[in-house]
């Protein structure tokens, strides 16, 4: 199924013309090979992600000029073809693509909306590993989420912060931007030397060049969904510590929030230690927190190994929540956006567990409060009516209520097994709602249909808590 023919400009042009013809015709296969799908048919974001390949590694090399807002990037994407591929897509919003290659050879590319199509000179065979590079530049524009929030590359007074849940990461690098395709990352950041640059994982090098810029390299070894990739560029004060005996903790805070946040930042290793007791081994080789003072960021996010907080949201409950996401959401990642309650329900339940320990508020009281709140009953947690409702209260609070009812049904001992066993079984993988109900039933040793029917799937608020 390899394409024959001569190499060079004529062949590249012919390939480009064929790619355009395929796209224009909406062709899904046939005489000229098989392009990968333009989306993974997520129930809420059908065009997010792409079919036909599985990314192993992203190497992003990014230079940012905060004065102009211009980003210059190269993304090197190493992936395995999961089908024969005559062409494949990457998600990318805005920016200008300058050049693309596949396995070192120039590849024809085409853009339509948020889809970037690359057509290698030769069809990629199922099962082979390939490397695609995209060289791009421009001033990144945030992506507006269906709920009206803005994410992606957010420009701040001094620099930028990038947050991607659910679809923002396509605003700053091309990729397979669906949570089901997790990969390792190396992110290289070049910024004016007065600024600090942080990202996920551990910093493996820092070099100051003669041109007044500093380049840092960040290595995120464990698989990461692209919505959890981040950069923070700005006038941060950074600090390092160790948690759990050997896990490096990198914290960063903008100066105006430094004093107020110092006490809680110091508690991070202790909170992680408590969570390891409850949820089992910490899944990552780095930890930390970043506190921004700029009002650009509207909410905290569990960006992998380095959650980010607006200063106003940096409180104990939110820190507990975002750290719990490292197990629930980041290591065990929702299979689709429909399964987000598995992240938010567990992270909310982690807050309830912590409030019992640190504030003497029994979990039963947190449950009763959530039960009484009418907003929490707008829809079942795994069934937001539209993408605009993905982060609504039922996903969080009703999600946590499902877990509490599970605990009441199976008993404390089995529930503790689930709290540790679930993140162990799906460590660094993806899991769906059905995976969860099946797993809970396997630990319980019995079917739990009644529980799911009422608490997880029921449209109505139950009469009794």
Give residues in contact with Zn ion (CB under 5 A).
344, 347
If DSSP codes are grouped into helix, strand and coil, which group holds residue 258? helix
Contact stretch for ligand ARG (CB under 6 A) within 14-22, 121-129, 216-224, 293-301: 293-301
Return the number of other C-beta atoms located less than 10 Å from residue 24's C-beta. Answer: 10
The least distance separating ligand ARG from the CB of residue 423, rounded to whole angstroms, comes to 17
Choice between 317 and 388, CB closer to Zn ion: 317
354 lies in the site for ligand ARG, by CB under 6 A: no
In which order are the strands placed within the sheet that holds 70-81? Answer: 105-106, 96-102, 129-138, 70-81, 53-65, 183-192, 213-224, 202-208
- Hey, which residues between 381 and 410 contact ligand ARG (CB under 6 A)? 391
379 lies in the site for ligand ARG, by CB under 6 A: no
**β-strand pairing of 202-208 with 88-91:** unpaired
**The one among 158, 294, 322, 392 contacting ligand ARG by CB under 6 A:** 322
Choice between 165 and 190, CB closer to ligand ARG: 165
User: Would you report the helix, strand and coil content of the chain in percent, each value rounded to 5?
Assistant: 35, 30, 35
**Residue span 131-150 as binding mask against ligand ARG, x where in contact by CB under 6 A, dash where not:** --------------x-x-x-
351 lies in the site for ligand ARG, by CB under 6 A: no
The least distance separating ligand ARG from the CB of residue 249, rounded to whole angstroms, comes to 19
The least distance separating Zn ion from the CB of residue 344, rounded to whole angstroms, comes to 5
Angle at 269 between CA 401 and CA 365, to 5 degrees: 25
Instruction: Name the DSSP letter for residue 451.
Output: H
Dig out the tokens for 43 from the structure: 């129930």
151 lies in the site for ligand ARG, by CB under 6 A: yes
Residue 156 and residue 231 in contact, taking contact as beta carbons nearer than 8 Å: no
Residue 299 interaction partner, one of Zn ion, ligand ARG, none, beta carbon < 5-8 Å per kind: ligand ARG
Angle at which helices 412-425 and 433-444 cross, to 10°: 130
**What Rg value do the Cα atoms of the chain yield, rounded?**
23
CA distances from 345 to 93, 221, 228 (A): 30, 26, 18
Contact stretch for ligand ARG (CB under 6 A) within 284-292, 299-307, 409-417, 422-430: 299-307
Residue 151 interaction partner, one of Zn ion, ligand ARG, none, beta carbon < 5-8 Å per kind: ligand ARG
The least distance separating ligand ARG from the CB of residue 147, rounded to whole angstroms, comes to 5
Residues 190 and 62: their CA atoms lie apart, in Å, by: 6
- Hey, which residues between 161 and 180 contact ligand ARG (CB under 6 A)? 165
Q: Where along the sequence are the contacts to ligand ARG (CB under 6 A)? A: 145, 147, 149, 151, 165, 299-302, 321-322, 344, 391
């Amino acid at each position: 199924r390899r394409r024959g023919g001569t190499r060079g400009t004529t062949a590249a042009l012919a390939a480009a013309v064929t790619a355009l013809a395929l796209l224009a015709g909406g062709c899904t296969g046939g005489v000229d090979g098989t392009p990968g799908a333009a989306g993974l048919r997520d129930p809420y974001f059908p065009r997010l992600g792409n079919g036909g390949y599985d990314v192993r590694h992203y190497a992003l090399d990014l230079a940012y000029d905060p004065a102009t807002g211009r980003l210059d990037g190269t993304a090197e994407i190493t992936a395995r073809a999961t089908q024969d591929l005559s062409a494949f897509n990457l998600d990318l919003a805005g920016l200008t693509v300058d050049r693309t290659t596949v396995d070192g050879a120039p590849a024809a590319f085409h853009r339509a909306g948020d889809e970037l199509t690359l057509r290698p000179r030769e069809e990629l065979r199922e099962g082979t590993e390939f490397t695609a590079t995209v060289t791009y530049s421009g001033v990144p524009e945030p992506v507006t989420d269906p709920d009206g929030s803005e994410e992606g590359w957010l420009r701040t007074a001094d620099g930028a912060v990038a947050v991607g849940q659910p679809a923002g990461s396509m605003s700053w690098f091309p990729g397979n931007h669906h949570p089901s395709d997790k990969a390792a990352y190396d992110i290289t950041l070049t910024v004016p030397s007065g600024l600090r640059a942080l990202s996920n994982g551990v910093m493996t090098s820092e070099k100051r060049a003669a041109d007044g810029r500093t380049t840092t390299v960040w290595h995120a070894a464990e698989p990461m969904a692209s919505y959890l990739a981040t950069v923070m560029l700005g006038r941060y004060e950074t600090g390092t510590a160790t948690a759990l005996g050997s896990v490096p903790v990198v914290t960063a805070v903008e100066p105006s929030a430094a004093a107020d946040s110092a006490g809680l930042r110091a508690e991070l290793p202790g909170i992680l230690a408590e969570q390891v007791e409850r949820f089992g081994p910490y899944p990552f080789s780095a930890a930390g927190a970043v506190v921004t003072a700029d009002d650009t960021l509207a909410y905290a996010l569990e960006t992998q190994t380095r959650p980010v907080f607006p200063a106003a949201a940096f409180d104990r409950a939110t820190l507990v929540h975002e750290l719990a996401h490292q197990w629930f959401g980041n290591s065990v990642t929702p299979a689709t956006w429909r399964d987000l309650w598995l992240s938010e329900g567990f992270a909310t339940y982690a807050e309830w567990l912590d409030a019992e320990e640190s504030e003497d508020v029994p979990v039963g009281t947190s449950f009763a409060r959530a039960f009484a709140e009418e907003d929490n009953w707008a829809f079942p947690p795994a069934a937001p009516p539209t993408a605009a409702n993905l982060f609504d209260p039922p996903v969080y609070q009703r999600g946590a209520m499902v877990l509490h009812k599970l605990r009441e049904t199976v008993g404390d001992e089995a529930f503790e097994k689930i709290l540790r066993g679930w993140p162990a079984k799906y460590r660094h993988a993806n899991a769906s709602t059905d995976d969860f109900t099946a797993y809970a039933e396997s630990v319980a040793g019995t079917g739990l249909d009644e529980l799911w029917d009422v608490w997880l799937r029921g449209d109505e608020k139950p009469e009794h808590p």
